[in-house]
Structure 1
Amino acid sequence: MSVDHYTYRVTWSPEDGEHVGLCAEFPSLSWLAETPEAALKGIRQVVADVVAEMQTAGEKIPSPIAEKHYSGEFRVRIPPEVHRALAMQAAEQGVSLNRLASAKLAA
């Protein structure tokens, strides 16, 4: 498994006054740097080091999000009054509740 398949992001940290590199699969890890490129390089190295340590210790390594299979289904619990309001909106628009909810989530 390659650490290149993980989900990396670089953003500006106003608190630190630097760019911060992040990895979605390892939310506790980060790397601060003056440039976005250095932040990305730093977080990728940190992840590679952590994965190597986990392999040595025989620990389970997180799978990259991009390589996971998603069924396209999940359950969401909402208050009954919200359910009713959404059902009414769906009926008024002439679409299924599923179609309405999917469109709202995609927006």
Structure 2
Amino acid sequence: MNTMDINGYQAVISFDPDINMFRGEFVGLNGGADFYATTVDDLRKEGEISLNTFLEMCAEEGVEPRKHFSGKFNLRVPPTLHERLAAQAAAHGKSINAWITELLSKTTAHVH
């Protein structure tokens, strides 16, 4: 999957072989907003239209367009991986949380 930034909002882009079109879906919104096109340029245009329609609807209904993220989530891993993570974090002088946060920050640095 790929992402596209449209006016500061991220959309996940995929190809739908059943209809032979690209599909974009905005993520992190308080509702659904998707769009389709056959070219990248048209996909961006359709994304802008879909986003603007969604934002206008939010404004009319007094709804915050973006979801609120608390910064907390649970992650379940096998006990053997948990043990290795604890050892690696300790080797870096960090808690598991601090070490994984650092790793995730590095691997997602290109995402806006």
What's the TM-score once normalised by structure 2's chain length? 0.58
| Aligned pair partner of 2:93 in 92, 95, 98 | 95
Number of equivalences: 98
Distance 1:80 1:45 in 2: 44
Q: CA RMSD in A?
A: 3.4
| Cα distance, 1:60 vs structure 2 | 0.8
Question: Per residue, is there more helix in 1 or in 2?
Answer: 1
What's the TM-score once normalised by structure 1's chain length? 0.60
Could you say which structure has the larger radius of gyration? 1
Distance 2:93 2:39 in 1: 47
Distance 1:74 1:42 in 2: 33
Question: Per residue, is there more strand in 1 or in 2?
Answer: 2
For 1:30, the aligned partner's letter is: D
Counterparts in 2 of 1:61-72, with a 5 A limit? 61-63=64-66
What is the CA deviation profile of residues 20-63 of structure 1, one whole-angstrom value per residue up to 9, with x for unaligned ones? 2222234632111111111121121022112212322x231323
Question: For structure 1, which runs of at least 5 residues remain unmatched after alignment?
Answer: none
Give the corresponding residue for 1:33: 37
Question: For structure 2, which runs of at least 5 residues remain unmatched after alignment?
Answer: 1-5, 108-112
Larger relative contact order (CA 8 Å, sep ≥ 6): 1
